Amino acid sequence: MKMFHTIIAACLFGASAAAMAQASAPTDPQIAAIVVAANNADIEAGKLAEKKTSDAQVKAFAHQMVFDHTGVNKQAMDLVKKLKVTPEENDTSKSLKKSGDENVATLKKLSGKSFDKAYVDHEVTYHQSVIDALDKTLIPNAKNAELKNLLVGVRPAFVSHLEHAKSVQATLK
């Protein structure tokens, strides 16, 4: 179960709390789309980091992010199928996709220590934003008990990922 929580935690990497805070409260299908969009953005950033970095810690962190996000894609889709929920595109999920694409585009232009710092700094900022979004938007608005329990259950993993990212960040200074 801990690995499942870690995988779900990783899925939201890269979005900002502002992006997750919609004008109106997100529905369960919209929350599902937000999770999927954020997860996909994280996979792309992690894959790029695995290829571009020569720093062992950054590479290991990126590998873990890719592994976790790939796993959560399957887990999240299994849950939405079980719940008979179709993820519903919304402004937040679209914003997450756009933000993820922009982040990858920015990272592609960087190399060496500049790349490592930008990648890890983004991870730190993002994970804090995700914790805020979970607390203020996603958990309070999830109506389905299984979805809400999943979101509540992954929060500690987000904190763990944030601390891991901060630890890597400290070594890059």
Spell out the per-residue pLDDT of the chain, length 173, in tens.
333 333 333 344 333 444 444 458 999 999 988 888 887 888 899 999 999 999 999 999 999 888 877 777 777 788 888 988 899 999 988 988 999 999 999 999 999 999 999 999 998 998 888 788 889 988 999 999 988 888 887 788 778 888 999 999 999 97
pLDDT value for 3: 34
Q: Whole-model pTM?
A: 0.82
Listed by start position, the domains of the chain span 2-172
pLDDT (0 to 100) of residue 153: 78
Residue 49 has a pLDDT of 97
Helices 56-82, 2-11: axis angle to 10 degrees equals: 100
SS (H, E, C) 15-56: CCHHHHCCCCCCCHHHHHHHHHHHHHHHHHHHHHHHHHCCCH
pLDDT of 54: 94
CATH topology of domain 2-172: Ferritin (1.20.1260)
